[in-house]
Structure 1
Amino acid sequence: MGVLLSGISYRKSRRQAYFLLLCFYGCFALGVLYWTLYLLLFDTTPRVFYVSEFGWVASVIFLHILQATLSTPEERTFRCRRAWLAPAFGVPLLAFYCTYGDILSNLIWCGMMIELSYCAIRGLSYADTQTGAMRNMRWFHIGMLCFVYAEYLLWTAGCFWPDTSPASPTFWCDLLLTFAILGLLPATRRAVEA
């Protein structure tokens, strides 16, 4: 759905932000497609760095490029102590996740989430100092933080409840992540209007 809606938005406006969002949704969808097919064919999830993770890593890279594209040079150089909450929160989670899974994969994922959340917190702090349309960027940064939070929540729930049935908290965290991902489109629209 995100691929379709961001594709329509890109076709109408030809704005680079929508193209990057389209790439994010497309790579994420390809990763989910491979994961689902693997699960259906082999009735298990892979324990090593697998193909679907390449799609998901690529999607987060496109999301970070979108974040950099929408930010101004002033925002990128804005000093904000609150942004250090990202590594203060992410590094202990990285240590925790490494006890449950592949160290390389966790280093890559947590590193990307720390970077996304660092930039989002800095951008949110900068947007609060702005007026008018530039203040709309805060919605994009809030959307990014929701995405990162939902990812962390899903990974943490997956450590304690690996079952994915609707009775499991992991299922509901996955649903929350889906809503956070879909929420990036309206958040990007608000930022593009700035």
Structure 2
Amino acid sequence: MLLNISYMGVLTVCAYFAIQNLLFGDGKAKGIHIFCLVFIATEYALWIASCFWISDIWTNPYFWFDFLLTAEIGLFFPVVNRAVRP
């Protein structure tokens, strides 16, 4: 439980800095900050869906948020590659 609380704290700090850099940053790494916010929102949705875990059937929203999170991890590398190119 302490690990989940600390993980939530770290993601909240990351979200704060992503919003701050999105609003006041130079704009070059805008895609990374948007991706970071989408990833954090999906993580929070996954945590909320896991609280109401009912059964192991495909209609459970936990599976769909988990699949979405896995797809986002696969999309992370093209976003970073686009942001770090000169």
TM-score class, shorter: 0.7 to 0.9
For 1:136, what is the secondary structure of its paired residue?
A: coil
Q: Comparing both chains, which one has the higher relative contact order based on Cα–Cα distances under 8 Å and sequence gaps of 6 or more? A: 2
User: Which residue is equivalent to 1:121?
Assistant: 19
Change (3 A) 1:189 1:164: farther
Gaps of at least 5 residues in structure 1 are 1-101
Q: How does 1:165-184 map to 2 (within 5 A)?
A: 165-184=57-76
Tell me how far apart the structure 2 counterparts of residues 162 and 189 of structure 1 sit (CA, whole Å): 39
* TM score, norm. by length of structure 2: 0.85
Q: Percent identity?
A: 36
Alignment RMSD, CA only?
A: 1.6
Change (3 A) 1:163 1:116: farther
Q: 1:193 and 2:60 equivalent? A: no
Q: How does 1:140-151 map to 2 (within 5 A)?
A: 140-151=32-43
Tell me how far apart the structure 2 counterparts of residues 147 and 109 of structure 1 sit (CA, whole Å): 14
Gaps of at least 5 residues in structure 2 are none
Q: Which runs of 4+ in 1 moved over 4 A?
A: none
* TM score, norm. by length of structure 1: 0.41
The structure with the larger Rg is: 1
Q: How does 1:1-194 map to 2 (within 5 A)?
A: 102=1, 104-127=2-25, 130=26, 135-193=27-85
Count of residues paired in the alignment: 86
Tell me how far apart the structure 1 counterparts of residues 82 and 17 of structure 2 sit (CA, whole Å): 18
Change (3 A) 1:141 1:162: farther
